[in-house]
Structure 1
Amino acid sequence: MRILIIGASKGIGLETTRQSLAAGYDVRGLARSASSINLHDARLEKVQGDALNQHDVEAALVGVDAVILTLGVGLGELIKPVQLFSDATRVLISAMKDQAVNRLICVTGFGAGDSHASIGLLQRVPFQIVFGRAYDDKSRQEMQIKESGFQWTIVRPGVLSNGPQTGRYKVLRKPSEWRNGIISRSNVADFLVKQIEDQTFIGGAPVLVN
């Protein structure tokens, strides 16, 4: 299988690229800074492109079996209106339909969509002040994905750390279980790679915490 990872040059995307290669997949990594991906493997194709550019995304989707969307924004961008997630997802959904690609795995975060109601009362105000613009857009992104008709899985990690890949983390599937917590980017990537062929969470949006 060939996997397209959008946002492959850093963070969860880079770690997902590394683990996908280790799992034996052919990987196409799309990023504006794809040349900086510090991985070397014959099965890795580094593609420089913009997730907001329809032509770039359509070209990257040719011959792909599944897409993992791992876009993020920097702290400095949180003080401005955020539209990256919904805009990029709109482009991607259109391109996937054109290329007949049906499997989409997307990272959003705890606090997006209907998981927002599970944020503790003491956390809600500071969360909204700091992350509100980004997570409002992640919620729009989730709605687009749910209405896409694809075989989708939305993944909502808690607070991200740079810890190791242990494979030991909780997958909270039911709304009654949802809570915030810490999880390493490597463990998020571990879950993402498992979703490429596992159908357990198709149509689901679990929360991940350690």
Structure 2
Amino acid sequence: MQITIVGGAKGTGAQLAALAIEAGHVVTVVTRSGTVPEGADRVLGSASDPAVARLAVTGADAVVVTVGGAKGVAHNRAAVTRTVIEQMKQVGVRRLLVQSSLGAGESAQQMPLALRLPMKLVLAKPLADHEEQEAAVMASGLDWTIVRPSGLTDKPATGSWQTLETSEPGTLRGTIPRADLAACMLEVLEDDATIGSALGVSS
């Protein structure tokens, strides 16, 4: 599979790129810094630029968006995601996987009870960005999946995780290592049964 990762220069996106390359996939990373994981192809620039986004997604079998916020840019995640979606439609790429956050949409109910109010207060702005991002994804008409991780850590991978849709009972744990989230995302990309799902993810 040919995978384009928007936000793959660091964090979860970089770990996903490394895992995908190890699994034999061809990976292209959109990067503003020029840094990419070893073995990945590079598209230099910001995916908020339609020309950069178009170059990056052309020829891809799947596109993954793992971008974070940007200093001085309101709702950067949503803006980048909308641009990527538009370019995917123009070049005929359908599979989209987007990293959001637990707490977005109706997923607050999946969080441990003690974390719900603090998350809502402390992360109000990022969550608003994620909710706008998710709305664009769900309205895209593409073959989308959203993953909503709980708090991300840099702990070693455990090799296991749990996923939960908002229609399912239960709650998730408060954290997940980025390495486990990356492995979960690669598994999701390879599973068409996840299309149209928003999955909470934690250890």
Structure 2 unmatched runs, 5+: none
Question: Given the superposition, is the C-alpha separation of residues 163 and 144 from structure 1 closer, same or farther in structure 2, using an over 3 Å criterion?
Answer: same
* Percent of aligned positions that are identical: 31
Shift of 1:120: 5.4
Counterpart position of 2:32: 32
Correspondence 1:1-210 to 2 at 5 A: 1-33=1-33, 35-37=34-36, 39-41=37-39, 44-73=40-69, 82-119=74-111, 122-173=114-165, 174-210=167-203
Structure 1 unmatched runs, 5+: none
Q: Give the 4+ runs in structure 1 shifted more than 6 A.
A: none
Question: Given the superposition, is the C-alpha separation of residues 178 and 54 from structure 1 closer, same or farther in structure 2, using an over 3 Å criterion?
Answer: farther
Local SS of the residue matching 1:3: strand
- Partner Cα distance (2:89, 2:13) in 1: 23
AA in 2 matched with 1:209: S
AA in 2 matched with 1:36: T
Per-residue CA distance 1:164-199 (angstroms, 9 max, x = gap): 223211112344224342100000100111122211
Per-residue CA distance 1:103-141 (angstroms, 9 max, x = gap): 000100100112134445643442233210110110111
AA in 1 matched with 2:38: H
**Superposition RMSD in Å:** 1.8
TM-score normalised according to structure 2 size: 0.92
1:115·1:175 contact (CA, 8 Å) conserved in 2? Answer: no
Per-residue CA distance 1:86-108 (angstroms, 9 max, x = gap): 11111111101001000000100
TM-score normalised according to structure 1 size: 0.89
- Partner Cα distance (1:177, 1:125) in 2: 18
Question: What is the number of residues matched between the two proteins?
Answer: 202
Local SS of the residue matching 1:176: coil
